[in-house]
Amino acid sequence: MGVKLTEKKTVSAMNTEQTFLIVVDGAIRRLSLGDLQKMMGNNIFYPTITLEQSSNPKFSLPTPFMADMYQRAMGGYMMKVVNGKAYAAKLAHSNWEFFADGTKVDNAAKYETMVHVPDCHFKADNKTLQFGGLFPISGGKIFESPNWVGAYKISYDGNGVAHSRPNVTPKHTQTMSQFFAAAQKLGSNFGLANYGFQCLIEALYQVSFGNLNSQAVIGSGFQSSSWEACRDVPMGKCISLGDGSGKVLYNDATLGNQYPVKLFGFEDLWGKLWEFRPGIRFYMDGDTRYAVVYSGNQVSNTANGRKFTIPSSANGEYITRKTLGAYWDAFPQAVGGGDSTYYCDGFWASKTGELLYVGGHANHGSQCGLSYAASHNGFPHTWAALGARLAFYGNPIIVSGSELMAM
């Protein structure tokens, strides 16, 4: 009796002993991941990059085989909570107006538009990263990111429930705790995109493009002194890019030509308004400032975790050095560069800062970008230029587009 491979479940990771089915001279044979790795060579199979070797934001990039495979396993989904259970259906790779099964999306306002973020494997030391993506590396780690992150910044409905949806304006002027509470109204597994996600998305960008200047590579994002008008442009302008990366032209009478951006399916990671990143907090002990990286779906100013020392002062200068190391920490450690050197993005820090937000808003110009970080405000901070991004920390039930629409 024949077996339909297309009906079998897919996996998001493999170990070296597990096998692929391949065809050799017309016959089906098995090949282990470990043997494939040996055939291709570690430097190809697990691409390795080294950062901060000079002020040039460009660096040597090996064949991005693993990054490409990881990106293909990502992608946009529509998610819906029904009777306390989360269901998700894949969107078409190149056009989010359709589901992957060919069904046209009936009404995006019925769902949460999310991007799947599979477990991402890596091994790092000092300034060097070995990227495994979907595949484990001996002695390596996994970025502590939720597996589902909003394609859009959080918006609220009339009941104060957080959503990730196009065609609405993002919510702002909330504390990080208020954003988290609004996300939890969708269900206990919902929360906010965290510091682990930030480390992952920066690493994936690095091994995909080989250039730390995200504005030059992807696009500037919204840029205008009329930053409130940029903030209030409805989200979803990059929907035509599907799961991809790039920029689109947006024009209106107030703002003129603007170029909102999308990276791996995530819209407006920089240039529209800042985003909170829980999962990391800061405190002073005497004259030394520390970062504490904590785990789980929570927002906290007291949680325990691994810690490292960080700068206690920075005023928007451009980043020259990051923490990196064994966890590939994305947090900045030094400034003094420019908008076309090193990381090409700015950094803020102070002794009283307790939380992290990233990306930047429209009137910060070339300081904005994937690495732009602010850590100079207290835990209760709110601002009209500061938002958040939804995340789901559970495992949704995967269905087809037509099945999701029928629910």
**pLDDT reported for residue 128:** 98
Task: Return the half-sphere exposure (C-beta side, CA atoms, 13 A cut-off) of residue 25.
Answer: 0
Q: Which of 353, 358, 395 is nearest to 373 (CA)?
A: 358
**pLDDT reported for residue 234:** 98
Nearest-angstrom CA–CA distance, 311 and 375: 10
Nearest-angstrom CA–CA distance, 252 and 100: 32
What are 11's two structure tokens? 């996996």
**pLDDT reported for residue 31:** 73
Other Cβ atoms less than 10 A from the Cβ of 274: the count is 24
What is Dmax (Cα atoms) for the chain?
72
Mean pLDDT by 10 residues, the chain (407 residues): 62 65 72 63 72 97 87 97 97 96 97 98 97 94 98 98 98 98 98 98 97 98 98 97 98 96 98 97 98 98 98 98 98 98 98 98 97 98 98 98 97
Domain ranges of the chain: 11-40, 42-407
Q: What is the DSSP string of 48-111?
A: EEE--SSS-SB------HHHHHHHHH--EEEEEEETTEEEEEEBPSS-TTBBTTSPBPS-GGGS
Other Cβ atoms less than 10 A from the Cβ of 9: the count is 5
Nearest-angstrom CA–CA distance, 111 and 348: 36
Q: What is the DSSP string of 305-362?
A: -EEEEE-S-EEEEEEEEEEEGGGTEEEEEEEEE-TTSTT--EEEE-TT----EES--G
Residue type at 381 in one-letter notation:
H
Per the confidence metrics, is the pTM higher than 0.75? yes
**pLDDT reported for residue 10:** 63
**pLDDT reported for residue 13:** 53
Going 403 to 181 to 394 to 327, the CA torsion angle's sign is positive
**pLDDT reported for residue 57:** 98
Nearest-angstrom CA–CA distance, 336 and 281: 24
Q: Which of 144, 146, 253, 125 is nearest to 196 (CA)?
A: 144
* Cα 192 versus chain centre, distance: 11
The residues facing 21 across adjacent strands are: 30
For residues 170 and 231, is the Cβ–Cβ distance under 8 A? Answer: yes
**pLDDT reported for residue 142:** 98
Nearest-angstrom CA–CA distance, 101 and 307: 45
Per the document, the length of the chain is: 407
The residues facing 79 across adjacent strands are: 88, 112
